[in-house]
């Protein structure tokens, strides 16, 4: 792995299929287009920054900016964890916010089926990375797909209520077909004015060293 800037913003994730991303996109499309009555500034912004569908994934570990040689070590650690894992099915269902409904900062789609297996992978990866000398996040792990960053809590709360309430006509509950998880992916994140862009550094199939 080579990087001309000599620093690679790196994370490890479970990627999700295009079909699942498309279905998630359909759920939030009415909200992406709508100008909400609360949380809107003079330029018509809604107070919510929606993430890009091509970047929707389930992050297991975020390492930050690393030297290229350290990225190689992260790939090796990820391969070690993946080699001991077996494929399983996962499914995305339901909506939530971090840190809580009173102060929402992140809007996410949850993981139901396969959540225990993904959590176990995150725990194993954290342990392997720690043994290899990497600093890892100590917050409780909750498998999810980040859908939006919330700049105005009122706008975030309204979006969450719209998506999660079955009584809201414009709301769309997410309940998607299961998908197969059979690998971990090491990503590079490049920050740009238009938002983060992601590229694959390495794919680490399960059951292979």
Residue ranges for the chain with pLDDT beneath 50:
3-4, 35-44, 167-171, 209
The residues near 153 (Cβ < 8 Å, ≥ 6 apart) are: 39, 102, 103, 104, 105
Half-sphere exposure of 187 (CA within 13 A, CB side): 24
- DSSP-assigned letter for residue 129: H
- DSSP-assigned letter for residue 37: S
Predicted TM-score of the model (pTM):
0.87
Q: What is the pLDDT of residues 70-84, one digit of tens each?
A: 999 999 999 999 999
Q: What is the pLDDT of residues 36-46, one digit of tens each?
A: 434 444 334 56
The pLDDT assigned to 169 comes to 41
The dihedral region occupied by 66, where left means phi > 0, alpha psi between -120 and 50, and beta the remainder, is: beta
Measured between alpha carbons, how far is 117 from 25 in angstroms, rounded to an integer? Answer: 25
Listed in sequence order, the DSSP H helices in the chain are 18-33, 68-83, 115-131, 153-164
């Amino acid at each position: 792995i080579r990087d001309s800037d000599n620093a690679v913003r790196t994370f490890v994730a479970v990627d999700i299929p295009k079909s699942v991303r498309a279905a998630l996109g359909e759920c939030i499309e009415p909200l992406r287009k709508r100008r909400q009555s609360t949380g809107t500034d003079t330029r018509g912004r809604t107070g919510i920054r929606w993430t890009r569908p091509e970047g929707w994934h389930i992050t297991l570990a975020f390492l930050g900016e690393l030297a290229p040689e350290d990225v190689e070590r992260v790939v090796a650690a990820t391969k070690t964890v993946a080699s001991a894992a077996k494929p399983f099915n996962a499914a995305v269902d339901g909506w939530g916010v971090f840190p809580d409904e009173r102060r929402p900062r992140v809007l996410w789609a949850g993981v139901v089926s396969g959540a225990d297996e993904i959590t176990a992978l995150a725990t194993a990866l954290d342990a392997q990375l720690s043994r290899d000398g990497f600093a890892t996040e100590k917050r409780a792990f909750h498998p999810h797909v980040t859908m939006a960053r919330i700049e105005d809590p009122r706008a975030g709360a309204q979006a969450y209520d719209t998506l999660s309430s079955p009584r809201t006509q414009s709301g769309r509950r997410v309940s998607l077909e299961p998908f197969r998880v059979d690998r971990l992916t090491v990503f590079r994140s490049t920050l740009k004015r238009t938002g983060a862009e992601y590229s694959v550094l390495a794919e680490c199939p399960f059951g292979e060293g």
